Structure 1
Amino acid sequence: MNNKLFTFLDPLLGYIDNGRFFREPFRWLYVIFAVLNLLFPIAILVKVIDMGFFKFAEGKAIFAFILIFIILCGGAWGSYLLWMNRKNKLKEVIQEDNEFIAIPVVSHLTQTVGEWLGLYIGVVGTLCSLIIALLAANELQYVMPVSTGIFFLMPIYGFLIVVFARLLAELYRALAVIANNTKKLAGPETKNEAKLEDREEI
């Protein structure tokens, strides 16, 4: 009875120690982000309709918005695939024999957020701002506040975001790998030293 009293938390602690406590909630977080990306174009469309844009806008502006909406749908689908792909690979990041678990998970999330943000700024942002600048700068500027003057810089911004996010993620990941490998290497040596000490005593 005393043993159950003192060990009833062991399953929960084991769940935390083996990494599932970090991995499973993050996998669901990735799914939530993926679904929110799918809903984003719909939210933009609802907002535009609610503002009465289609009632007073000219044909050129409506055509520009349709093109932008198609781009947003493509970006939403690409972002959904990105988050779901990274969700499936999240399990590979955490190994049950690793001592340091939270660092790889946060590193993976940092990399994924950087890839997602870089995709939106570098591809979706560039195309949307280009369409607004060419077709309907005055009509759509207040509906979708995208900077039209620096659209040629957005691919560079997107690329840099992906690179620096990956760099930061790899720094954290390298730290965790070094720490885990150091502990694994130290384990056998410690056991061998203990055996040698026992032999010397004999």
Structure 2
Amino acid sequence: MNNKLFTFLAPLLGYIDNGRFFREPFRWLYVIFAVLNLLFPIAILVKVIDTGFFKFAEGKAIFAFILIFIILCGGAWASYLLWMNRKNKLKEVIQEDNEFIAIPVVSHLTQTVGEWLGLYIGVVGTLCSLIIALLAANELQYVMPVSTGIFFLMPIYGFLIVVFARLLAELYRALAVIANNTKKLTKTEAKTEAKLEDIEDIEEI
């Protein structure tokens, strides 16, 4: 009875120590982000319909919105694939023998968010702002406030976001690798010293 009373938390603590406590919720978080990306174009479409855009807009503006909606759908699908791909690779980031687990998870999330933002700003944002600037800048900007004057800078912004997010993620990852390797090296040295002591004891006998 006493053993059960003091060890009932052991499964939960083991769940935390082996990394599943961090890995599984984050994998579900990635799935949620992936699904939200699929719903994003639908939310934009509903918003545009609610504003009555199709009632007062000219044909050129409606055509521009259709093109933008197609681009948003493509970006949403690409984002969905990105988040699902990173979700599948999250298991490789966390190994059960690692002492430091949270750092690799946060590093992986930082990298994925950077890639996602870079995709939306560098590709989707550039194409959408270009279409608005060329076809219907005045009308569409009321329902989709996208900057049209700096569309040529958006690919650069997207690229820089991906680079700096990757840099930050690799810094986190490097800290985790150094810490884990140091911990493993310390354990190995301790085992080696213990074996040497055993050998010395045997030789003395």
Q: Do the structures match in fold with TM over 0.5?
A: yes
CA apart distance, 1:195: 3.2
What whole-Å deviation, never above 9, does each CA across 1:110-139 have from its counterpart, x for those lacking one? 000000000000000000000000000000
Q: Report the counterpart of residue 11 of structure 2 in structure 1.
A: 11
SS at match of 2:181: helix
Q: Report the counterpart of residue 160 of structure 2 in structure 1.
A: 160
d(CA) in 1 for partners of 2:131 and 2:56?
19
d(CA) in 2 for partners of 1:64 and 1:4?
67
Which deviates more, 182-191 or 169-178? 182-191
SS at match of 2:129: helix
Q: Report the counterpart of residue 21 of structure 2 in structure 1.
A: 21
d(CA) in 1 for partners of 2:54 and 2:142?
14
1:65 aligns with 2:65: yes
What whole-Å deviation, never above 9, does each CA across 1:52-79 have from its counterpart, x for those lacking one? 0000000000000000000000000000
SS at match of 2:159: helix
The structure-2 alpha-carbon separation of the partners of 1:5 and 1:166, relative to structure 1 and needing over 3 Å to count, comes to: same
What percent identity do the matched residue pairs reach?
96
What is the TM-score normalised by the length of structure 1?
0.97
CA apart distance, 1:198: 5.1
The structure-2 alpha-carbon separation of the partners of 1:133 and 1:201, relative to structure 1 and needing over 3 Å to count, comes to: farther
What whole-Å deviation, never above 9, does each CA across 1:140-171 have from its counterpart, x for those lacking one? 11111111000000000000000000000000
The structure-2 alpha-carbon separation of the partners of 1:2 and 1:181, relative to structure 1 and needing over 3 Å to count, comes to: same
d(CA) in 1 for partners of 2:41 and 2:191?
59
CA apart distance, 1:194: 2.6
The structure-2 alpha-carbon separation of the partners of 1:96 and 1:53, relative to structure 1 and needing over 3 Å to count, comes to: same
CA apart distance, 1:175: 0.5
Which deviates more, 76-85 or 191-200? 191-200
Number of residue pairs the alignment of both structures matches: 202
d(CA) in 1 for partners of 2:8 and 2:66?
59
Q: Report the counterpart of residue 84 of structure 2 in structure 1.
A: 84
The structure-2 alpha-carbon separation of the partners of 1:2 and 1:132, relative to structure 1 and needing over 3 Å to count, comes to: same
CA apart distance, 1:192: 1.8
CA apart distance, 1:92: 0.3
Please list every run of 5 or more consecutive structure 2 residues that lacks an aligned counterpart in the other structure: none
CA apart distance, 1:18: 0.2
d(CA) in 2 for partners of 1:30 and 1:84?
7
d(CA) in 2 for partners of 1:201 and 1:12?
46
Q: Report the counterpart of residue 181 of structure 2 in structure 1.
A: 181
The structure-2 alpha-carbon separation of the partners of 1:59 and 1:9, relative to structure 1 and needing over 3 Å to count, comes to: same
Q: Report the counterpart of residue 202 of structure 2 in structure 1.
A: 199
d(CA) in 1 for partners of 2:18 and 2:204?
37
What is the TM-score normalised by the length of structure 2?
0.96
CA apart distance, 1:193: 1.6
CA apart distance, 1:200: 8.3
CA apart distance, 1:199: 5.8
